[in-house]
Structure 1
Amino acid sequence: IRFQPIGGVSERVLLGQRVLIKTRDGKVVRGVIGSKPPHIMKPEELKQVPEIKDMYIDVGASSKEEVERLGVGVGCVAVFERDLAFLGGSDVVTGKAIDDRVGVATMIEGFKAVDGNEVDVYAVATVQEEVGLKGARVAAYSITPDVAVALDVTIASDVAGVPEQEWVTQLGKGPAIKVVDGRAATGLIAHPAVRDKLIEVARQYGIPHQVEVAPGGTTDASIIALNKEGVPAATISIPSRYIHSPVEVVSLVDVVNAAKLTALFSSKITSEWVTSLARRVLK
């Protein structure tokens, strides 16, 4: 079965993965991603990462008709078959689609802890972020927020082979408060007042945190910032290793601290502070 990616999936992590295909009638069909066996590849082919067009999903069928009898057809969606698991008996976990299920988990836990808030707080779990920030675009248009904070993962590049000066964030050192993201800052440039308020709250309540400049990628905050006449926006990021792979890795301590920061920021900002953002005058 030939397939196409939805969102940013690297060919490097696909080969040999087990997948689950959901049929239109709700059944699940198991398959594996394969390609030309290395034993019959030419020497130059062995040095290259196979392209998606050269891969396929093998469901154990011997004909197109057999595949169709399983209920698999054009448009069925396949996902990685992976369970969430702890690594080394620590607070570190690995699994698929942590980007951005962990953002939803952070939002839920943070929202439950919001208390005594002076301003209205909306919790929104968006769809299709990876394919054009589409859910955030329509949600922001509907809500018309005065301030926005996106919750997403960011690059934890503290791994072998990456010089320390190129580490965007580190695992276990706390959530990251974003300054900019995207190549050459083409994603979000966080609103300085919102960014600084997040840092202020983190320092006031002793929440370990990092300040992040991401050289690539972006989040829903980029499109929310452009809603209507503009929205002051920022991002709280959870450091994650191996983003866009079936084995993404995060620290649950970072997740807990991200939820705390989300809750405290939402609880402590005032309507006066929010109003002041719209009234800033450039001289």
Structure 2
Amino acid sequence: MLKENFLLNLREIAAIPGAPGQEMEVVDKFVQWFTPYVDNIEVDHMGNLYVYKHGISPGPTLMVSAHSDEIACVVRDIDNRGFLKIERTGGMIESLLVGRKVNVHGHFGVIGIKAGHLQTPEERKRLPSIYELYVDVGANNKQDVLDMGIQIGDPITYISDIDTFTNQDLICGKAIDNRSCCVLLLELFKSLQSKDVSGTIVGVITVQEEVGLRGAKVATYRVNPDYAIVLDTIPCADTPDSLQSGYPVGIGNGPVIPALAGGSVRGNIMAPQKKELLIKYANESNVPYQLAVMSGASTDVSAVHLEREGVLAGAITIARRYSHSPVEVANLNDFVHAYKLLEKLVLDNGKWGNLSFLK
């Protein structure tokens, strides 16, 4: 996988707004990108995108997925002066919203903030609630907003292009969670076009992960895979404010294999045989990896493994700094290593595709 091509595609796709339930433009772009490289392609009523690679010999059905939506807000109300009240969809953090540039259903806007000169000493110390925040789209009144085509329920997403640091391997911007892994999936199917596989490989770009892993549930039921691999980014703890967290995961140290993710109700404990398989292939491929236990975050695997009679599923994740912010930071080398591991797993689908709970 060429880092340059990966970054080029990520810049384009991350710039497209794709709030939960509003991923249409993102999905449309991926339909265009995947079509030349797959045997067939489908989009369901929910917006999940399915791409297929049929093998030359019988074997299991392996589903590999990544989610397309990003954290966002929606318009909750429009006041008579043309300012928009907002509600979150996904893990939007109030402290990161204030003073940001945003896209409101295709229109430029800013999240306003009371001038420091007018704030009381108490206000300067207090973090405003999301219900106190508002978006300014440059309108004079409510009718101006309606004439722009903005309505209650319309999506609001960050404006934040993907940039690189002086160290060109470090990238920063919005929607790295999880457009980056969608591009990784695209690169996989480009490679598979000229390779032979066993069974059926189904790539899925899921929707509405940020609001409860909803698309993954529908997609897994539809595909009914024998096995599944979920691709996602995951928070790390290599910055000064988190080094003592007891969560030893950082960017640049290879993909993360989450042995446990999510809380006691919604989460996933990766099956030992799946974890051992990922470690085995990482070692054989000379891919550095990190094992993680994190109860405070989850991925689509939490929904995938519970569908139908249960699916033996695992996750390959990429560490990111400043999660759910417009300045998420990741290391391109981690994606290269994740791709190497993923491709090896998929090409050997017929060899390892006989796992069971008792093995």
Name structure 1 gaps, 5 residues minimum. 23-27
Equivalent residue for 1:33? Answer: 111
Aligned equivalent of 2:94, options 8, 11, 22:
11
TM-score, with normalisation over the residues of structure 1?
0.91
How far 1:165 moved relative to its partner? 5.4
Equivalent residue for 1:189? Answer: 269
2:192 is equivalent to residue 109 of structure 1:
no
Q: Quote the sequence identity (%).
A: 36
Equivalent residue for 1:42? Answer: 120
1:124-135 equivalent positions in 2, closer than 5 A = 124-135=204-215
- Indicate if the aligned counterparts of 1:168 and 1:213 stay in contact, CA closer than 8 A: no
- Indicate if the aligned counterparts of 1:148 and 1:234 stay in contact, CA closer than 8 A: yes
- Secondary structure of the residue aligned to 2:279 is helix
Equivalent residue for 1:228? Answer: 308
- Indicate if the aligned counterparts of 1:110 and 1:260 stay in contact, CA closer than 8 A: no
- Secondary structure of the residue aligned to 1:94 is strand
How far 1:245 moved relative to its partner? 0.6
Aligned equivalent of 1:262, options 316, 326, 342:
342
Q: Which amino acid aligns with 1:274?
A: G
Aligned equivalent of 2:222, options 138, 142, 161:
142
1:151-166 equivalent positions in 2, closer than 5 A = 151-164=231-244, 166=246
Which of 211-220 and 226-235 deviates more? 211-220
How far 1:256 moved relative to its partner? 1.2
Measure, in 1, the Cα distance between the counterparts of 2:153 and 2:245. Answer: 43
Aligned equivalent of 2:158, options 80, 88, 97:
80
Measure, in 1, the Cα distance between the counterparts of 2:353 and 2:308. Answer: 17
2:253 is equivalent to residue 173 of structure 1:
yes
The one-character-per-residue Cα deviations of 1:89-133 (angstroms, maximum 9, x if unpaired) are 420101111111011011122233344322321110000001111
Equivalent residue for 1:25? Answer: none
The one-character-per-residue Cα deviations of 1:180-226 (angstroms, maximum 9, x if unpaired) are 01135851101111111011000011011111112311111011100
How far 1:238 moved relative to its partner? 0.5
Measure, in 2, the Cα distance between the counterparts of 1:151 and 1:20. Answer: 27
- Indicate if the aligned counterparts of 1:150 and 1:219 stay in contact, CA closer than 8 A: yes
Equivalent residue for 2:33? Answer: none
2:354 is equivalent to residue 275 of structure 1:
yes
How far 1:277 moved relative to its partner? 1.3
- Secondary structure of the residue aligned to 1:211 is strand
- Indicate if the aligned counterparts of 2:173 and 2:329 stay in contact, CA closer than 8 A: yes
- Secondary structure of the residue aligned to 1:171 is coil
Measure, in 1, the Cα distance between the counterparts of 2:251 and 2:231. Answer: 16
The one-character-per-residue Cα deviations of 1:247-269 (angstroms, maximum 9, x if unpaired) are 11111110111111111111123
- Secondary structure of the residue aligned to 2:303 is helix
2:332 is equivalent to residue 252 of structure 1:
yes
Measure, in 1, the Cα distance between the counterparts of 2:185 and 2:244. Answer: 30
- Indicate if the aligned counterparts of 1:156 and 1:239 stay in contact, CA closer than 8 A: yes
Equivalent residue for 2:52? Answer: none
TM-score, with normalisation over the residues of structure 2?
0.72
Name structure 2 gaps, 5 residues minimum. 1-83
Aligned residues: 274
- Indicate if the aligned counterparts of 1:116 and 1:267 stay in contact, CA closer than 8 A: yes
How far 1:69 moved relative to its partner? 2.2
Q: Residues 251 and 276 (structure 1 numbering): CA distance in 2 closer, same or farther, change over 3 Å?
A: closer
Q: Residues 42 and 125 (structure 1 numbering): CA distance in 2 closer, same or farther, change over 3 Å?
A: same
Measure, in 2, the Cα distance between the counterparts of 1:93 and 1:201. Answer: 27
2:102 is equivalent to residue 2 of structure 1:
no
Measure, in 2, the Cα distance between the counterparts of 1:112 and 1:196. Answer: 27
How far 1:164 moved relative to its partner? 4.7
Which of 171-180 and 88-97 deviates more? 88-97
- Indicate if the aligned counterparts of 1:171 and 1:250 stay in contact, CA closer than 8 A: yes
